[in-house]
Structure formats: structure tokens, C-alpha cells
Amino acid sequence: MVLDTILEKIDSNQNRYIEELLGFLKIPSVSTYSHLAADVRRAAEWVCSHAKRVGLQARLIETKGHPVVHAWRCRQPDQPTLLIYGHYDVQPPEPKEEWHSPPFSPVIRDGYIYARGASDDKGQFFTYLKAIEAILAGAGELPINVKLLVEGEEEIGSPNLGPVLAANADLFKADAIAISDGSQFARGVPAITYGLRGLSYLQIDVRGPRIDLHSGAFGGLVKNPVQALCEILAQLRNPDGTVAIPGFYDQVLELQAWERNELAALPFAEQELTQYLGIADLSGEPDFAPLERKTARPTLDINGIWGGFAGEGAKTVIPAKAGAKVSMRLVPNQRPEQINQLFIDHVRRLAPEGVKVEVRELHGADPVLVRRDQPEVQAAVRAIATGFGTAPVFIREGGSIPIVNLLQETLQLQAILMMGWGNPDDGTHSPNERFRLQDFHHGIRSVAALLYELAKPGA
Ligand code: BES
Ligand code: MN
Ligand code: MN
């Protein structure tokens, strides 16, 4: 069978694939840093020229921000079209001193590639280019049509992708979408992700006196902005871990019994996790199991907080301002616009007298659920079984990918195949991010198998 020849080709070309990925990982494409915009563009060009090299047509689509790579090979009019999504941008590498080797000088240690973006998402996305290359080399043509959409703004909430999709809906029209931008359930337990959480991300700014003041000369007269901020933040969640914003849970789709049972049957290793995290116990909403809380329940987190003096020693001061970034992970059927409004109303009510409190919306993403009873999902199950040698489990992920809902709505597409090749301990967004060489390898094999599984027989 032709797939077997292709899989052999993939097996024997591993070292070259790794070498090439290392080159991609050297480009510091941090989308949120404007001073690195030229490097972000260089990463887009790298993807574009690599796509051409493996046999696709490719070009850049300019946006108000970083460019989108559009590539395609559509030579099978009677076969379905797969849209492949990935992102070439990465998160900032900080704190740099925590890295054992520099974030943009990829190295291989103990069966892993270490670099920012190795798992999220350069390494995972690259598997598609390599599988396509192997098929074209081994069979001369792809069994189905493929289109690639690789963006450079995923890590900043995909602010410019909506207009690109709306203006090019025809270009990206497809029968199914494949996304590898998440992880397996655990090492050796590959998974298909049928749910993602959404996101609401806001910033609170508190302003008090015009300037920082001597806390002796003025203490007792003015409301301290850091104190005010703490009072507000302390009332966003209840001590039992639930979110205290009125109406927050109103639209939450409750877990069904079958889903709770299925989640409970997954091999969740709580002790291994607390050890990896370096904490004594997990915490969160009572009445829900850890896996439910991490994927199918909404939550609220303070991401950062600033204000006042935090330098060496002591400075007696009443700060003029303070602020915090707060994000909420949402689940079906919560909507970011609605949740933002509830949050803003709540914070306004909590704002104490004597300070000015402003709330700004930073970005958002809708939660996603994919129906599992679609033939494409079954094709993905078989492909992963071929690629990894183990059938996948079904999971929901706690993270967000803003484009997924956009694609669902703009392209009216329901067959969304989310197949994370990474591992939960890859350290995405953390220091020493890594991608397991074996996962990279199995990912490429799975993609090759997927393209054949999606082909209609006899067409
Ligand atoms: N690849 C992640 C999303 C993800 C994380 C999926 C964990 C599955 C499991 C993606 O690159 C990401 O980091 N998304 C951001 C979205 C935000 C910047 C709008 C997130 O989830 O914080
Ligand atoms: Mn990602
Ligand atoms: Mn990410």
C-alpha cells in the first residue's frame, strides 16, 4: 500500500526533519514585541518558502499586523479539501534566566527539542509540511486537496484574522480543518480534542492622587490605589474557588453524566501533576473533579498585578496608581462580550470611593465544542492510531484558540479536527519549552495517514 511506503520514508528522514525544524525555531517570532516585527515577518517568509519547497503554492496575505501565510495544492476536484491551521508566532521567552539553553538557540537533550515555540506551535504545525512533502515524494500527488492558513498573531488573540477570513472566505473554503496546537492527554495517550475553552481578558487601572506621595505626610488622608485594587481583586472569586461575579455561571452548559463518566475514566495522574507543578494540592471549585475544572468549567485568574514600590529595601510611599490583568476561561455557552459586561459591572460596583477605576477589554475568544459523530472525526481516530500505534482518547482542552470559532462561523465548517501532538509537560508559555522528538515523528506519520483517511474511495 502506498501509505506504507510513505510512512517508511517519514521514518527514515527523521534527522533531516529535525534539522529543518531547528532552523525555524531560531527565528524569534514573538508577535507581541513590536521591536521583533521584522523577525516575525522572517518566520512568515520561512514558512512560505518552505511550503513552496515541499510542493505547495504559497504567498503572504498582508494584514494590519503580522502577515498570514496562505498555501495550497488543489488538484483533486473529486476529493475533499482539508484546511490546515497553524501559527508561526510564539510567546515571549521571559524569564530568560530560567532557561537552561537560550530560547532561540534550539538544542536536543534527552529526546526533546528545547526552544520557544518547539511545541506551541512551530513544531506541531511543521508536521503538516513534512507529511505533505513525503506524500508528494512517494506518490507524486496528494490524495486530497489541502489549503494552509498559518497566522502570526495567535498568541495575541488573532486581532486581524477575522477581516482576512471574511474577505477570503472562498480561498479558505474547505470540508474539514486540521489543527495541531494542543497536546495529547498524557505521554503515550494521544487524543482528539473536541472542546476548547473561550477567553475574556481585561485590565483594571486604579488611579488615586496625582503623584506618588509621602506616606507619612499624607497617610490617613487618601485612598491608596493598591489597597483599592486589592479590595476589588479579593472579591472576584469566593474563598471556595467559585467566581463571585453575579450571573457568571448563568449560561454554562452543565456537563452531562456520560461526559463526567468519560472524563472520570481517563488515566488522570493527580500526584504526578502536583509534583510537576511543585504544589502540595490542587485547588478550585468544589463539586467538580480536577479534569472537569481544567477543561469544562469556567474560571478566573489574576495574570499580573502592579503598583507602588517593589524595589530593594523600603520606600514609604502612597502610590498614585495600581493595576491588574485578569482573564477568565469560558465554556459553552458563555460569550466573551456578555462576560466582559458582567465583569465590568461588577468591578464598577466594587470600586471604592476616593479612586478612579477603569476597566479595559483586551481580547477574547469563544469556547468551542465539536460534534464527535462526524465521519472526519472517525478518519482522524484511525489516522492517529496509525501514526502513534495507539488509538486516541477524546478530551476537552482548557486553552483557547481564537480562530476556531471564527472558522466555524465564517466558513460554516463543523468538521474541526484538533489533534495535539504535544504533551501536557512540554512547558508551552513557560521557560524550557520542549517538544518530544517521538511526538514530532508520530505527528508527521499521523498527518500522512489522515490525508489518506480523508480521501473518498474510488473517486
Ligand atoms: N496552543 C495554545 C492553545 C492551547 C493551550 C490549546 C493548551 C490546548 C491546550 C495557544 O497558542 C494559546 O496559547 N492560546 C492562548 C489564546 C490567547 C492568546 C487568545 C491561550 O489559550 O491563552
Ligand atoms: Mn498555540
Ligand atoms: Mn500559545
The string of pLDDT tens digits covering residues 103-112 is: 999 999 999 9
* Ligand nearest, relative to CA of residue 399: 1
What is the C-alpha to C-alpha distance for residues 135 and 141, in angstroms, rounded to an integer? 7
Measured in whole angstroms, the distance separating CA 47 from the mean position of its chain's CA atoms is 19
Q: Which residues line ligand 1 (CB under 6 A)?
A: 120-121, 154-155, 157, 181-183, 199, 363, 365, 397, 399-402
Residue pair 111/438 in contact (Cβ under 8 Å)? The answer is yes
Same-domain check for residues 439 and 310 = no
For residue 266, is it within any domain? no
For residue 221, report the distance from its CA to the centre of ligand 2, in Å.
48
φ, ψ (nearest 5 deg) of residue 155: -75, -5
Ligand with the closest atom to the CA of 87: 2
- For the whole model, what pTM was predicted? 0.94
Residues of the chain with pLDDT under 50: none
Pick from 364, 381, 414: which residue ends a domain? 364
Q: Which atom of ligand 1 is nearest to the CA of 181?
A: 1
332 and 231 in a single domain? The answer is yes
Query: 92 and 33 in one domain?
Result: yes
Query: Which ligand 1 atom minimizes the distance to the CA of 193?
Result: 8
Structural domain harbouring 108: 2-196+367-453
Domain shared by 419 and 444, yes or no:
yes
CB 263 within 8 A of CB 269: no
| Nearest ligand for residue 329 CA | 1
Residues 239 and 379 in one domain: no
**Cα-to-centroid distance, 293 and ligand 1 (Å):** 17
Q: Are residues 210 and 171 in the same domain?
A: no
Residue of 301, 328, 400, 418 to mutate, ligand 1, most atoms within 8 A of C-beta: 400
**Which atom belonging to ligand 1 lies closest to the Cα atom of 182?**
8
DSSP assignment of 294-361? HHTS-EEEEEEEEES--SSS---EE-SEEEEEEEEEE-TT--HHHHHHHHHHHHHHHPPTTSEEEEEE
Strands 299-307 and 321-330: antiparallel
pLDDT of the residue at 152 = 98
End position of a domain, from candidates 364, 389, 407? 364
Out of 32, 90, 154, 201, give the residue to mutate to test ligand 1, the one with the largest number of ligand atoms within 8 Å of its CB.
154
Q: Which three cell numbers, joined as nine digits, stand for 381?
A: 481516530
Dihedral (Cα; 171, 176, 177, 178), 10-degree rounding: -130
User: Is there a single domain that holds both residue 371 and residue 229?
Assistant: no
> pLDDT tens, 399-438?
999 889 888 888 888 899 999 999 999 999 999 999 999 9
- Domain assignment present for residue 33? The answer is yes
CA distance 217 to 361: 36
Assess whether 380 and 446 both reside in one domain: yes
Supply the residue whose CA is at minimum distance from atom 4 of ligand 1: 399
Residues with CB under 5 A from ligand 3 (ion): 120
How far does the centroid of ligand 3 lie from the alpha carbon of residue 35, in Å? 20
Domain boundary among 346, 364, 382: 364
d(CA 223, CA 352): 9
Overall number of domains in the chain: 2
Whether residues 207 and 184 fall in one domain: no
How many other C-beta atoms are found inside a 10 Å radius of the C-beta of residue 352? 15
